[in-house]
A = this chain, B = another copy of it.
Amino acid sequence: MLNKPPTIKDIARQLNISVSTVSRAIRNASDVSAETKKTVMALVEELNYQPNQLALNLRSKQTHTIGVIVPNLDYVLSMMVRGIDEVALEAGYTVIICQSNESYGREILNARRLLDRGVDGFIVSVSSETNSFDHFKKIQEKNIPMVVFDRVASQLKAPSVRIDNTGGGFMATEHLIEQGYKRIAVLAGPQNLEISNSRLDGYKNALKKHKIKIDPSLIIHCDFNQDYAFFATEELLSLKKRPDAIFTISDRMALGAMLAIKKKGLQMPNDIGLIGFNDEPVLNLLTPSISSIEQPSFEVGKLAAKLFIETMHNMDNIDLSERIIKTKLIARESSLKINAKKLK
């Protein structure tokens, strides 16, 4: 049973009419009588005709496909991708997900491959290695729609969706201050990532507001990585004047910090406070449970996809304003000094 799928031509031949008429009948266009339309549709049904997408792609130069490039598929990004997928599917688009693995070269490669696969556009979150944006600018010059999300880069002029990173960093830090912590360290991410620097800015803003001097020795840049965070925390804890609280700009790093804290034999929240960022569900299962900044990742993804579709349908008037989504403080045992005694 390997007979090829029927084409519009087969239908035309069988019905003794022209392919154009068949085409029109199927697309329910005008210029075709109700009667012929009926006979065509009957045969379409009988033969189980499906239009050949590949041919349509060639003719229309569209594939109804969105290329999504992400640095990885950690908890946050995979939630966002699910959001993108949800909206895209609804709108009749298929999503191709490529991971750059935080590599600049891989990101370029992904873009190239997606491009000559004929995607209709891009939804992108940049890798931590990426400093130059020429590969994306080239895409924009070709008038191909592109939306950036989560990891936004201000050098890249494109519609964007992200969370309020500065605000989140501020909330986390102020929360620690309000709990009475005095020497607050921060594990920041890679230097050239805006998402990282914005959260760090929030941290600085909070200290300034409460008139606490910023101590550069308490600011550590390292990878978004549990192991790096572990070692960084060990170093922090062995300082002469060790910090009494740590804000890590991702939960993965908070986990590493937690391990280092436990290894050192310190108790949270009394000996030291800890707060992460992202609010991964696991935090609530740990002992002590760990505070964090919650963000609506799924919503970010959905909004990015919606924005993409809007942009796509309105290419001669692109709305470059930033969409910024609020975050929320989730205070748990690891930083709740006052209530901590009650909880015990």
Contacts and interface: CB of A to CB of B under 8 A. Distances in A.
A142 B2 CA distance: 6
Contacts of A116: 50-53
A73 interface: yes
Interface in A1-34: 1-2
A53 B117 contact: yes
A63 B52 CA distance: 13
Interface residues of A, number: 38
Contacts of A239: none
A36 interface: no
Contacts of A1: 141
A282 B290 CA distance: 13
Contacts of A117: 53, 63, 65, 94
A207 to B, nearest CB: 29
A interface: dominant SS: mixed
Nearest to A141: B1
A118 B54 contact: yes
A113 interface: yes
Contact of A96 (B96, B259, B282, B287): B96
Interface in A50-103: 50-55, 57-58, 61, 63, 65, 73, 78, 82, 85, 94-99
A184 interface: no
A73 B63 contact: no
A54 B53 contact: no
Contacts of A53: 116-118
Given A255-B285, A259-B285, 10 more contacts: A2-B142, A52-B58, A63-B117, A85-B99, A94-B96, A94-B98, A95-B96, A97-B97, A282-B282, A285-B286
Interface of A: 1-2, 50-55, 57-58, 61, 63, 65, 73, 78, 82, 85, 94-99, 113-114, 116-118, 141-143, 255, 258-259, 282, 285-287
